[in-house]
Structure 1
Amino acid sequence: MSQHLATARLNGRRVEVVAGFDRRLGDYFLQVVDERNDMLYTSLQEPLLDWTDISTLRGKVAELGLQLPSLVLCEVESDGLQLAGNRIVRHAADGPPVTLMVG
């Protein structure tokens, strides 16, 4: 499973976003967690959406109004196309992504 981590704002609150591709399940996912580690959103809440399609992830990010670093969704999509496995990347608002783990 790939995980792309980024800090964003949701309704004025600072949140941590985790988006990625689950190779075993063959789908994309999205999680939004606040500073107290409370889950504000998870794609598991909406199992009827087609999470095998990157446009579902892109649409949900837009619907939630999350402003992510520009490369996050491009890299998540690339992970899906390449069937990437154990990969964790931290994205900063001002700078290149940093790969924390590849396995």
Structure 2
Amino acid sequence: MVWAECTVQSCPSAALAANGFKEARSGVANNNQAREISFPELGDQRAAITHYNSDLDETTAVALLRIGTVLVDLEYEPVPGNSGWSREFEQLASTVATRAQQVQNA
């Protein structure tokens, strides 16, 4: 079974959101065995990283996105050994990014 959790934060300005993105990316990138993975162009800033979660004894994928003033943190675990998981992970991130953009455009 795969588990995904999405956290969405709204910031008062794009500059504050950009700072929040930078901090979140730094925190995830410093995790055990972190490895940046390729990811589609979503939002204004994006990063996708896999890392080993020693508490769960499994590999987790994290997508961090900034869409205007909105920050998205999408966690996906466990990352299976095959490559099919990445398409589902990207689709989840794309759905959230599209919705965040729609809300800001309204």
* Bucket of the pairwise TM-score, normalised by the shorter protein: 0.3 to 0.5
The structure with the largest helix share of the pair is: 2
Which structure has the larger Rg over C-alpha atoms? 2
The structure with the largest strand share of the pair is: 1
Q: Normalising by structure 1, report the TM-score.
A: 0.39
